[in-house]
Amino acid sequence: MHVILSAVLLALAIVDLVLGTSFLVDPAGGASDFGLAIVSRHGESTLRGDMTAFFYVGALSLAWGAWRRRGDALLPALGLFAIAFTGRFINVVAQGPYAGWMVPMSVEAFHCLLIIVAIRAWGLARPDA
Give percent of the chain above pLDDT 70.
97
Alpha helices, H only, 26-128:
27-33, 41-46, 52-68, 75-95, 102-122
Please state the domain extents for the chain: 2-21+50-122
For the cut 80, the answer to whether the pLDDT of residue 128 exceeds it is no
Give percent of the chain above pLDDT 90.
87
| 90-108 pLDDT per residue, tens | 999 999 999 999 999 999 9
pLDDT at 127: 66
pLDDT at 33: 87
**CA neighbor of 62 nearest in space, from 127, 125, 119, 21:** 119
